[in-house]
Each structure stands twice: as structure tokens, then as C-alpha cells.
Amino acid sequence: MSAGAGTLHVVSTPIGHLGDLSPRAVEVLRGVSAILAEDTRHTRGLCERFEIRTPLLAYHEHNEASRVPGLVARLVAGESFALVSDAGTPLLSDPGDRLVRAAIEAGVTVSPVPGPSALLAALVVSGLSAERFTFFGFLARKGRERTEAIQAIVAAPHTVVLYEAPSRAAETLRELEAAGAGDRPAVLARELTKQFETVVRGTVREVAAAAEAQPPRGEVVLVLGAGAPVALDEAALRSLVASWRAEGRTARDVTQLLQERGAPRNLAYRLAHE
């Protein structure tokens, strides 16, 4: 580690209930040189509630590229910062990974202050297996990236968690149904830890119907149970490999895509390198 350098604290903040902000988080937020906030107006309200008077600096997806060099220089010089998102744990579908990587490369200590996470909160109340899961964050709104994500979710042999805007929750569930996941167990969780916390359970088809009948408000987390094992057709997989190669995908990319569709690692590697 760089001698004399400060610390970058990655601090989780409440996803709803203010009582979930830990005493240690308050201590860290009070003690750093500045708080790096996704939305300073939002974080200012939290700070006022807990009498935290630390200066706030805007750090979000639109300015992180320009912010990182200066912030890392200040960290190396001995200042310490707390990185927060609007709610929950930073870096999970929120900016911050670029700063964390740069800080590590500069020899700066990066320390977590664990706490609330909408991803984990939804998973543990879903009733679905948490032994193994994949987090997809927010899906792309359209195009090949979205199509491939939908296909990967349907093919996943384990639990899947994703975030979605309330206005698109029903649409995404219907897409998953159309792709063959209509009978998969599913959960729609919204406003977790807040007054109107709601958890809707059923199949993908049933939860989609519920979301259409009563469109959700507030932050939404979707959790899907594991799909039934699918018999793998090597000829079909080779056809996929050919199409991905035509798009310029690397062998590493192809291997990963095959595994996401349920292919064992050895088979995926062999087909990707044929």
C-alpha cells in the first residue's frame, strides 16, 4: 500500500428505512474528508438527518471519468473519502468501480462499510434458493444486448436477480414468459423496508399479470427461480458459436455465453476453440 495514503470507504446507505444506517457508517461519513455522492441533494438529506456535516462531492456516471484522477491523487496524498450511492450498496448498478480500481492500482486502501442492499434484501425474502445466483442489474432497454440477457436468464440453471423500472416490470416479465420462462417461480419486490413494502410471489406469468393489474411504484427487484434442466443440443450450440464468431466475438466471450446457456465449462471451452 502507498505510505501515507488515505482510505476509500465504500459505504452502504439505507434503501428505505433510515434505521438501517449503521453506527459505523455514520462514524465513517463524519470522519472522511468528503462524501462522494451520486446525487448530492439526496445524500444531503440523509446527512442532515444524522447530523453529518462532511462536504459532499458529486460523483456519478456523467463525471466519473474526469473525477477519478483528481480523487486518486488526493487519496494518495492522505485524504480519505466515503463513496455512497443514492440507496443501498455502491457499485451494484451504480457508479464507482472505476474509482475503486484506480485506487487499488495506486496503492490506496479500499475498505467496505457493509449494509443495506436491495439485491440481497429481495433475494432473502423471495423464498427462492440463495445458494447460487446471478445478478443482471438493469437490462438494456432494447437491441441485441437485451435479447441476449433475456436468453441467458431463461437458460440459467440457478436463481436470477435483476433490477427494473416500475414502468417496465410487467413488460420484462412478459418477455421472459414469451422466451419460455412463464412457469418459472418469480418474485416482484418493491419499496423494500419502506411503508408500502410489497412482495408478490407466483410464476413469471402470474407475477406479470399482477404487475399489469396493479402497476408497481417505487424501486423494483425481480427474482426468478432456477429453470428446469435443458437438454443441450451440440448442433444448436455450434450454430450459436458460428453466429457469435461472425459478429467478431472472442473465444473467451463465446465460452462465457455458452456457459450462461447451461453448457458445462469443458464443453463450452471446446466449442469456442474449435
DSSP string, 24-87: HHHHHHHHSSEEEESSHHHHHHHHHHTT----EEE--TTTHHHHHHHHHHHHHTT--EEEE-SS
Gap between the Cα atoms of 182 and 163, Å rounded: 19
pTM attached to this predicted model: 0.82
Q: Which amino acid belongs to residue 68?
A: V
* pLDDT value of residue 92: 93
Q: Where in the chain are the domains?
A: 7-116, 119-224, 234-272
- Return the CATH superfamily for domain 7-116: Tetrapyrrole methylase, N-terminal domain (3.40.1010.10)
* pLDDT value of residue 134: 95
Please check whether residue 113 is in contact with residue 24, taking contact to mean a CB–CB distance below 8 angstroms: yes
Q: What percent of the chain has pLDDT over 70?
A: 97
CATH fold of the domain at 119-224 = 3.30.950
Gap between the Cα atoms of 59 and 65, Å rounded: 10
| Chain segment 96-108, per-residue pLDDT in tens | 999 999 999 999 9
* pLDDT value of residue 265: 83
Match 455502491 to its residue by C-alpha cell. Answer: 90
Match 463525471 to its residue by C-alpha cell. Answer: 63
Please check whether residue 9 is in contact with residue 80, taking contact to mean a CB–CB distance below 8 angstroms: yes
> Please, what is the average pLDDT of the chain?
93
* pLDDT value of residue 124: 98
- Rounded to 5 degrees, what angle do the CA atoms 95, 122, 135 make? 50
* pLDDT value of residue 234: 80
Nearest to 179 by CA among 246, 247, 227: 227
